[in-house]
Structure 1
Amino acid sequence: MKIAIEALGIHYFGGGRTATLNLFEALFTLDSRNEYLIFLSQPEPSLNTFAGNVTQRIAPVQNRFLLRLWAQYSLPSAVRGYDLVHFAKNLGVFGISAPTVITMYDLTTLVHPEIFPRFDVWYWRNIQKQTLLDAEAIITISKTTADDILRYYHIPRERIRVIYPAYANHFKPASINEIACIRDRYRIPETYILHVGRIDRKKNLTVLVRAFAEFQKQTTFNGKLVLVGEEYLKSRDTILHPTIEQLELRDEVIFTGRVPDSDVPALYSGAAVTVFPSLHEGFGLAHVEAMACGSPLIASSAGAVREVLGEAAILLDTIDTNSIVEALIRVVKDPILRQEMQRRSLAHSEQFRGEYSARQTLRLYEELVLG
């Protein structure tokens, strides 16, 4: 089979970028027979290993809006003669003659339209709907997102496949020395509470900051709150920094910015607890990565989180200051509970290895092309 994959702009895509690259590496390790052409907006060195049957084609533009225009006008002719086209990150284009597959990560833009620009909401309600209706199959990363697709787009259920994304192999518990090196690199104290992910309104970090301030008042905790990730300007959390100033937490909250993927396992491994208070998650890959490193987790149950994490984390149905403070006190102050949560995290993460998602994806390709 000749398979084209459109992954333009994945470097903007947060956890979706990680999930996409993890799938590529697992898929190309599994399948050396078929021919793959991947459209990217910048080279991905990790894919050079598979140069025998994988070709990277780099778009001539970088701007996100121009990338979509380039894709719409260039892809239909560029993929002529291919057996299947897979749009790997939510957005498809029109005019493709081959069967198409679109991977949908979440529908947060429709579930919480109040935190997104109006144009984005309009696009997802109209253009995105039509590209999904035109696709032969839709891959989604959770049953929750599949339900959202049915609810907002009324796509026939038989065209939707749930394939859980996988975490990368380097997510595993770090050694004491590795943790110490990472703490020195980012000037993080021995004890800290962690969040990893883009800094935006969806992640609900202002509530976490308020809870952290209250947690410090109620306990003798002398560690820091560490926020790992870059700010996302399209859905910027405009009250996060003012809240930190108001609560006089400037010296208590550490912003690392975006860090190399190779540094993240040690950050997870060294944390007293990792907290994800998101408003919505289509899957929660960062949650699974944290578990693979043995971190205890406190998380909002919003979106697919309960489906993905099950009983392996403390899940909060109500995300407010009090609920987070109570959970932090339970975990941070009880070493026996924390050890049990670490054990559960490691065991639960085993079901999200790359080979499973790669086999299911390849099987779908074969069904669509070979029948």
Structure 2
Amino acid sequence: MRIGVDARKLRDGGIGTYIRNLLTVFVMRPGGNEYVVFLLEDDLGSFAHPGSTAEEIRVQARKYSVAEHWHLARAARRAQVDLYHSPHYTLPLPLQCPAVVTVHDLIHVRFSRFFPAGAGIYARTIAGAAVRKARIVLVDSTHVRDDVQEMLGVSPDRVRVVPLGIAKEFSRRSTADTERFLKERSLPSAYILYVGARKKHKNLALLIDALERLPRPERLPLVLSGPPWRLGHPLAQRAQRAGVLSCIHFAGVLRNEEELALLYSGAALYVQPSLDEGFGLPPLEAMACGTPVLASSAGALKETLGDAAVLLPPSEPEVWSEAIVDLLRDSLRREGLIRKGIARSRAFTWDRTAELTMAAYREALQVV
């Protein structure tokens, strides 16, 4: 089977993690298949190497552009792929071969008020066209399965739940390595951690409000992944009004999963207050690194994290501040969550994701 994969979002957060890990497993274990990977110029060389079954093809079309439909359809036709997989919710309209599309979430549709005007309509239109064209629709969770059926009208018999995986790099790091990393990054020795985007649906305002309510002696610093925000940023202004601006630190850009594992390992507690998630990779990665997790019960988080995390409604900062204090004080409960979290994270592997995805590929080629 000759499989084409659109990998232009290789550097785009969670979708990039999905593409990178899925293709790595496929290329390492080809099973007689060939892979044609469509990439932006800067990412050429990511998968093709001597002895590899991957062929890389450069495409110039911008992501979510009108031109991408024609550029990618033409590239797939010229490459003579048997099947085309889009790892995000868009498919080239003129595509002629069978296709599979992955929908990670419909947050742009469900929370359109958080995005620029028209973004929700655009997302519904593009995702709707993609799921109608695809023979099989992959989703990360039953939560997203229900959303695509409800919002996009996809028939249940065409939807397959394929959970994401946790890379082997995510494990508890030694105290010495962690302390060295934190010192290099000028980070505190004990902190509460959040990893991910700072979009409105991530609900970081709740963390700021909860931080304000923590008793001063137990107000651990909050560390956010990524670069510092500008002082005019709405979250910075909220933190300044709450009197907690000096309590918030930034880890800077993380270059690889090793550095991310070190950041997780140094945290006293990981927090995920999202209003919606299609899966929830960061809290699961934190669990794999032996960090207890406090998360919202919204979206797929309850499904992904199970009883290995403390789950709370995403709208009550008083409840969050109380839960943070309780977890920091109760070492026995923390140890119990750590044990459960490590066991939970081990149930999610990229090998399993690849296995279920390959089954969907084969099924798509059999559908007539």
What TM-score results when the alignment is normalised by the length of structure 2?
0.93
**1:249 aligned to 2:248?**
no
1:226 corresponds to: 223
Provide, for residues 244-282 of structure 1, a one-character-per-residue CA deviation record: whole Å limited to 9, x for no partner.
121232321002233123211111111110000011000
Question: In the TM superposition, what are the counterparts of 1:179-218 in structure 2 within 5 Å?
Answer: 179-217=178-216
Q: Deviations over 1:263-314 (max 9, x none)?
A: 1111111111000001100000112111111110000011101111110000
2:149 paired with 1:150: yes
Query: Does the CA contact (< 8 Å) of 2:83 and 2:98 recur in 1?
Result: yes
2:275 pairs, out of 263, 279, 300, with 279
CA distance in 2, matches of 1:86, 1:317: 36
Distance 1:122 1:232 in 2: 29
Give, in angstroms, the shift of residue 363 of structure 1: 1.5
Give 3-state SS (helix, strand or coil) of 1:4's partner. Answer: strand
Instruction: Tell me which residue corresponds to 1:297.
Output: 293
Instruction: Indicate the residue corresponding to 1:76 in structure 2.
Output: 73
Over residues 52-92 of structure 1, what are the superposed CA-to-partner deviations in whole Å (9 max), with x where a residue is unaligned? 2112223235x545xx3342121222112211000012221
8 Å Cα contact 1:198-1:232 kept in structure 2: no
- Which range moved further: 87-96 or 273-282? 87-96
Instruction: Answer yes or no: is 1:260 the counterpart of 2:259.
Output: no
- The more displaced of 333-342 and 244-253 is 244-253
Residues 273, 314 of structure 2: 8 Å contact kept: no
1:238 offset after TM fit, Å?
Answer: 4.7
The letter of the residue matching 1:306 is K
Query: CA, structure 1 residues 48+336, in 2 after alignment: closer, same or farther (shift >3 Å)?
Result: farther
Provide the residue aligned with 1:240 in structure 2.
Answer: 235
Deviation at 1:43, TM superposition (A): 1.2
Q: Is 1:6 equivalent to 2:43 in the alignment?
A: no
Indicate conservation of the 8 Å contact 1:171/1:289, yes or no.
yes
The structure 1 segments of at least 4 consecutive aligned residues displaced by more than 4 Å after TM superposition are 48-51, 230-233
Give the Cα separation in 1 of the matches to 2:229 and 2:268: 26
Structure 1 runs not aligned, ≥5 long: none
Q: Structure 1, residues 298-337: CA drift from partner, whole Å, max 9, x if none? A: 0001110111111000001243211110110111111111
TM-score (norm 1): 0.92
C-alpha change, 1:216 and 1:93, in structure 2 (3 Å) is: farther
The reply to whether residue 168 of structure 1 matches residue 163 of structure 2 is no
Q: Number of paired residues?
A: 362
Q: Greater shift after overlay, 139-148 or 75-84?
A: 75-84
Q: 2:309 aligns with which of 282, 294, 313?
A: 313
Given that 1:2 and 1:82 are in contact with CA atoms closer than 8 Å, whether structure 2 keeps it comes out as yes
2:52 counterpart residue number: 52
**Higher relative contact order by CA 8 Å / sep ≥ 6: 1 or 2?**
1
Kindly provide the amino acid, as one letter, of the partner of residue 2 in structure 2.
K
Distance 1:208 1:351, change over 3 A: same
Offset at 1:120?
A: 1.6
Partners of 2:85 and 2:229 lie apart in 1 by: 26
Gaps of 5+ in 2: none
Q: Which moved more, 1:22-31 or 1:273-282?
A: 22-31
CA distance, structure 2, for counterparts of residue 20 and residue 295 of structure 1: 26
Shift of 1:370: 5.2
- Asked if 1 retains the 8 angstrom alpha-carbon contact of 2:261 and 2:289, the reply is yes
SS of 2:246 mapped into structure 1: coil
Q: Give the aligned partner of residue 361 of structure 2.
A: 365
Q: Distance in 2 between matches of 1:230 and 1:99?
A: 41
Partners of 2:97 and 2:210 in 1: CA distance: 51
Sequence identity of aligned pairs in percent? 29
Distance, in Å, in 2 between the alignment partners of 1:168 and 1:232 is: 29
Distance 1:188 1:301 in 2: 29
How far did residue 239 of structure 1 move? 2.2
Does 2:85 match 1:86? yes
Displacement of 1:122: 1.4
Residue 355 of structure 1 corresponds to: 351
3-state SS of paired residue (1:307):
helix
Q: Report the 3-state secondary structure (helix = DSSP H, G, I; strand = E; otherwise coil) of the residue aligned with 1:229.
A: coil
| Structure 2 residue 325 is matched with structure 1 residue 329 | yes
Distance 1:330 1:30 in 2: 46
- Between the aligned partners of 1:326 and 1:212, the Cα distance in structure 2 is 10
